[in-house]
Structure 1
Amino acid sequence: MKKRILSLFIVVSAIICVYSNLYSAEKVYMPFFELINVHADYQYSVARLFKNYVDEQGRYILIIPQRADSLIAQPPLNEIRETAKSNDCSFFIVADMNRIGETVIISVSMYKTENSQLIWKDRLKANTPDDIDPILQKLSRVIGTEHKAAEDGDIYSVTSYESQQLKQIHSISAFGISIGGALLMSNPFIDDPFSGGGGIFWSYDIRTVLFEVDAQSYFLGSYSVGHLSIDVYRPFFAESSTPFLGGGLGFGYTTGASNGQGNGMMLFVGGGYIFGRTADVGLRVRAQYMLGAFKVENTEKSLPHGFMLNMELYFGK
């Protein structure tokens, strides 16, 4: 007897809960989706499915028109508002499906019936017809909130559009050689500041940025200075010949010049000009200021710093 009473109590409680949710849910009117380059068969089926998902959430009851035998044009905004008023709806929705190529863009906007104020809108892209169902689920969960459907984390409503791999920008790689000189402006190098040399570098051009691995050594003088660094440069223009500006960080060293030995991190700032950026073989001029983050041996405060100027030839792939 007690089990029967308990079962009856649970059923009655569930019924009361359902009716209370329906009573507290606000009514929202939505005409059929406006279809742009989409087959007419989708108009009623999509609206009906969206209604089911919205009603399941319990916050709103979606009111849609009766099914029609042919494609229905979406009424003007003021006419939709009047229909929402006549159905005692607090809000109304304007939605469309727009196909561009193989992608269908689904847009939904929600307005207050009282003053036609836009209170919520969202948009998602469907890559295949199978994406439409999870998109409608996502939109139904965030309708009228501050959240975006694209941020919905439900693992069972991932679209094929969302699962696409990001398209990569292919870089243009190049190997180059350089010849030039260094001019150190700090003790103990200042009495004989110039040293000649050169080096090699690997460059990766992704159109808006140049990434480089740079190895230079200047040893044709009374001292030697060199470095291995990673540099980043920004071209000024999207043209074959353009100036560029940037800098880098690496490991450097100095030797010779009366105990002028030291090694450690080096900072580089500079720029130059590229000739024939899109050609298989290119030429550029590059100038850099270098500053070592280490003290030279037998000097109290001397940090090696100075300038480098190179003429560089590179071979692209």
Structure 2
Amino acid sequence: MKKFLLSVLVLAVALFAAEKVYLAPVGLTGMHGDYAVASSKLMKAYIEDDGRYILVVGSAEDGVTADNQAAVRQKATEKGCSKYIIAEFTRLGENVIMSFKLYSVDKDAPIWDDRLKARNPDDFDPIIQRVARNIGTKNKAVDDTDIYSVTEQETKTPKRKGVNSYIGMSVGGLMAFQPEFDVYAGLDFYLMYDAQVILFGIDWDIYGLGDDSKLGYMDIAISAYYPFGTKAITPFLGGGLAYSHTEYQSDIPLEYRSTNYNYSFYDNDEEFEDGSSGLTGFIGGGVMFNRSSRVMFIAQAKYMINFYKNDVFDYEKMDDGRVQITSKDHAVQGFVFNVGIGYGF
């Protein structure tokens, strides 16, 4: 019995704390009247679920319409409401402009308003949910930076829906820690598919550009990244695998090119160059800029390591003046960083 009384008391306090808001009959232009009834029921359910307001839904018996603000205000006052909502839906071609205004009974100007565009009736439910969640706050119903919102504000540039893939190029470098510390310039050509909740990529990378570069690296990579949100500026994290080919030219002076105390000298640089192929793994992330546009910018950083090794030659001058050349396997690894641009299609 005590628990029941406590529950009743809590409910009574909650009902007393929430403001009563009057919803005038929804005004429709070019639409069937059933949409007004259904929308009013959804508004009441979602607004009362939020808990800030108790919605008193107007009906035809109230004798007021959305285009008569004075009558709506009077009816809201009669019903003991401190605020009232005027909602109007206007069909323009295949789209419906949905206008929502929240008034205080003691003010002529709205204290909150928003106007959104529904592409089809399926948009009504998410629009009304967002209006119910944000009405009376400092926020609008739709976040303008959310590029995958199912709705659009009439006065805003339409958000991207058809662009899901990018083709682009970036420039950057490989900061190798193995076999020795050095930075090698490179290019990355990529194709990226944006599936909203995940990013898939196919890349062709080449690093070690330049005649004086000791390292040559090239791969074909596949990757998957998790984007943190659907904003126009979106950070992401993930990784992938690549099939790569690496060539490393060991720096052995001409006069020391003998092996294992062998005094036969080598004039051919290829004697100390090793090429190997295999799998490469990498993890990292980056940031997409202007994701809502046909032209997208991207900045990335990742750590890569070869799952295979290259022979790296070294030399040591002995006490007797002779030179010993040795080789050791190293897995090329280091940071890759690049910035680039992509075109959406």
The TM-score range, normalised by the shorter chain, is: 0.3 to 0.5
In the superposition, the TM-score normalised over structure 1's length comes to: 0.44
| TM-score of the aligned structures, taking structure 2 as reference length | 0.40
